[in-house]
Structure 1
């Protein structure tokens, strides 16, 4: 019969995507299950367990996993992608973004382009998480010149002037 032991641990502050105060420590309670090993068990007949599933939790169906992940804030997707390869592939497939659009999940974002930079940054509304948008494949005159921007729905539209004339770029920012 497994014993349960409660431990306190502190989360490490100062990750790149978080706006944590290093003086604050967030305490979490973790329950560890400690089991005894019986030498009479036939361990050699058992197949190795899938690393994606915990021994204590039964597996969820694919539809339920996607439905749950679609409701998680987009700013936390970088954490989810580190859980296992299956979650990473779900995020890369775009299936979660389609479901978010279907169920009407909307999250405000703030887009920033610093002067002289060629990359835009997307921040969540509380500036706790950010990600870099792909670099626009434009020439030096566009990068250094004036640009006009417009946000329309799930698109960020950037217009400016290149050597050959006016150009308009559009970022598609899924919900």
Structure 2
């Protein structure tokens, strides 16, 4: 995948989450999404042990390769490296991106969640390949927190020279508004 992972088109990224998968495991959810054509699978399990996340990655990676999709591990640099994933996605309060890049090397993808323009600029200066911004719309994963909105998303997209992924509450009714940013 390398750094040529982001084409000049929109992409769909699945973020696995045990809480919202209605009891389905990340491997079965990812396989269904890969059959439907997702471009990337991000394995996220904030409370899971490293072994479970590793096993999920090892179960998903072969299917992703066959589908021409990539795999990222959320916030577990060790698991991303050990499993052969395409990269790691850092949470906002995770390892500093510079430290993660030094450990990863140049080839694997490195992304991070940001919640504003300042954080996005700092992340780009620190060497990330992409940023994820959100939540753009109201979402059940962030109850009680106001959404950031497409105006702030557009500001970040225009201000940084790496791909910006939008997350949070995006659905068929608002995806076109996101794509216009």
Q: TM-score range by the shorter chain?
A: under 0.3
Q: Which has the larger radius of gyration?
A: 1
| Length-normalised TM-score, structure 2 | 0.23
Name whichever structure is richer in helix by fraction.
2
Name whichever structure is richer in strand by fraction.
1
